[in-house]
């Protein structure tokens, strides 16, 4: 997609990326900066924030890292105030910060549930509200993009706090698309399939063979490249998608389709064998 738009598409933008120090957040922040944006990344750990901000600056971009625990409303508000003091009005937001772990639900503690839901859902709400309030007052048609997951809509075993919170984020994006459309504010989401990152893999993939098995079920037969996600993020945040709001884009190589269709498992067999099987089931010609 890189050739399809102006390479300075984000020239006058100040984009906040929550959780932007590592993983997909880092990839998005770096991409936005190459397209002219001033980027503010926030997260709990200062070290990766400063490291990512430094790398963006070394490449000629504009970036600031601000420590913030997005589970706390006051901390999010303070982070936005600080971001604007350093780089001017925030014009776009990416809700990316997320926690996750695998656990049997009957063993989850209230604290464990809170740790994920507060980070993912409350954090996205606080950041979206802090930006939206400002944009409405300033008559600025900002845009928000949230990272959710494909299992937010149909649920997932062993990932209940994540599924619940990401489903809440989708409801938040759609509700505010309806409520704030009148101000020109757009809110969309990306539901990524497997885009391996250190953070997600170390917590969610206990066995490499299991990962291989999961990846084989993807119709496009591979995991996603970070550039493919950042392309979609640019599209959703920018005027390239100016008539799109309240939408969730499944960016998963078709993975969610294969886990839904009962007969999709036939795609695992050689196509010739499948054809033979289908032929054998056909009633004889009259
Ligand atoms: C069971 C756990 C746990 C685990 C934490 N807890 N990890 N319970 N299994 N693996 C419980 C603790 O016991 C505690 O409850 C409570 O959660 C809070 O734990 P803390 O460590 O104090 O919490 P905190 O420091 O807030 O951080 C925990 C965390 C964090 C949010 C889980 O470690 C984390 O997830 N970081 C991940 C960052 C990251 O990589 N995100 C990308 C996610 S990828 P008690 O009751 O004992 O006090 C993603 C993509 C999904 O989501 C799509 C895949 C296809």
SS (H, E, C) 60-90: CCEEEEEECCCCCHHHHHHHHHHHHHHHCCC
What whole-number distance in Å separates Cα of residue 267 and Cα of residue 221?
A: 11
C-alpha 44 to ligand 1 mean position (Å) = 13
Joined tokens for residue 116: 């994920």
Element (H, E) at 107: none
Question: Can you give the length of the chain in residues?
Answer: 286
C-alpha 283 to ligand 1 mean position (Å) = 55
C-alpha 63 to ligand 1 mean position (Å) = 28
**CB of 101 sitting under 6 A from ligand 1:** yes
The pLDDT value recorded for residue 92 is 98
For ligand 1, atom 52: residue with the closest CA: 100
Residue owning tokens 């990512």: 52
Residue 215 has pLDDT above 90, yes or no: no
3-state SS string for 36-53? CCEEEEEECCHHHHHHHH
**Nearest of 90, 8, 25 to residue 233 by alpha carbon:** 25
The pLDDT value recorded for residue 3 is 60
The pLDDT value recorded for residue 209 is 79
Residue 264 has pLDDT above 90, yes or no: no
What whole-number distance in Å separates Cα of residue 146 and Cα of residue 126?
A: 13
Mean pLDDT of the residues in the chain: 94
The pLDDT value recorded for residue 278 is 85
What are the start-end ranges of the E strands in 126-233? 143-147, 186-192
What whole-number distance in Å separates Cα of residue 59 and Cα of residue 37?
A: 13
56 within 8 A of 63, measured Cβ to Cβ: yes
State pLDDT tens for residues 77-99. 999 999 999 999 999 999 999 99
Residue owning tokens 């190589």: 253
Report the topology of domain 10-281. Rossmann fold (3.40.50)
What are the start-end ranges of the E strands in the chain? 14-18, 38-43, 62-67, 92-95, 143-147, 186-192, 248-251
What whole-number distance in Å separates Cα of residue 43 and Cα of residue 119?
A: 10
SS3 category, 189: strand
234 within 8 A of 5, measured Cβ to Cβ: yes
Residues labelled as active-site residues: 151
What whole-number distance in Å separates Cα of residue 250 and Cα of residue 272?
A: 30
**CB of 103 sitting under 6 A from ligand 1:** yes
* Ligand 1 pocket, mutate which of 43, 99, 105, 151 (most atoms under 8 A from CB): 99
Percentage, residues of the chain above pLDDT 70: 98
The pLDDT value recorded for residue 187 is 99
For ligand 1, atom 36: residue with the closest CA: 99
Residue 4 has pLDDT above 70, yes or no: no
User: From the alpha carbon of 107, which atom of ligand 1 is closest?
Assistant: 1
**Nearest of 123, 130, 126 to residue 44 by alpha carbon:** 123
For ligand 1, atom 44: residue with the closest CA: 200
State pLDDT tens for residues 147-165. 999 999 999 999 999 999 9
The pLDDT value recorded for residue 79 is 98
What whole-number distance in Å separates Cα of residue 15 and Cα of residue 236?
A: 13
The pLDDT value recorded for residue 7 is 87
Give every CB contact of residue 115 below 8 A, 6+ residues apart in sequence: 99, 161
* Ligand 1 pocket, mutate which of 101, 151, 217 (most atoms under 8 A from CB): 101
For ligand 1, atom 20: residue with the closest CA: 115
Between 198 and 282, name the one with better pLDDT: 282
Residue 42, phi-psi category: left (phi > 0), alpha (psi -120 to 50), beta (remainder)? beta
């Amino acid at each position: 997609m890189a050739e399809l738009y102006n390479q300075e598409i984000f020239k006058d933008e100040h984009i906040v990326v929550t959780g932007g120090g590592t993983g997909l957040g880092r990839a998005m922040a770096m991409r936005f900066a190459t397209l002219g944006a001033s980027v503010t990344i926030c997260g709990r750990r200062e070290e990766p924030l400063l490291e990512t901000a430094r790398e963006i600056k070394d490449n000629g971009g504009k970036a600031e890292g601000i420590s913030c625990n997005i589970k706390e409303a006051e901390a999010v508000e303070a982070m936005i105030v600080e971001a604007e003091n350093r780089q001017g009005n925030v014009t776009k937001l990416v809700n990316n910060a997320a926690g996750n772990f695998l656990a049997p639900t009957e063993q989850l503690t209230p604290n464990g549930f809170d740790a994920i839901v507060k980070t993912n859902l409350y954090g996205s709400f606080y950041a979206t509200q802090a930006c939206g309030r400002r944009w409405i007052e300033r008559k600025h048609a900002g845009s928000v993009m949230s990272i959710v997951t494909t299992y937010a809509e149909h649920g997932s075993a062993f990932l209940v706090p994540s599924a619940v919170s990401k489903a809440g984020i989708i409801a938040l994006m759609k509700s505010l698309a309806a409520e704030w459309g009148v101000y020109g504010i757009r809110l969309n989401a990306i539901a990524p399939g497997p885009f391996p990152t250190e953070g997600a893999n170390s917590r969610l993939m206990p066995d490499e063979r299991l990962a291989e098995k999961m990846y084989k079920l993807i119709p496009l037969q591979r995991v996603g490249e970070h550039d493919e996600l950042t392309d979609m993020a640019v599209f959703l945040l920018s005027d390239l998608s100016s008539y799109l709001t309240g939408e969730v884009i499944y960016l998963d190589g078709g993975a969610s389709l294969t886990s839904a269709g009962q007969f999709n498992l036939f795609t695992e067999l050689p196509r010739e064998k499948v054809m033979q099987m289908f032929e054998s089931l056909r009633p004889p010609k009259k």
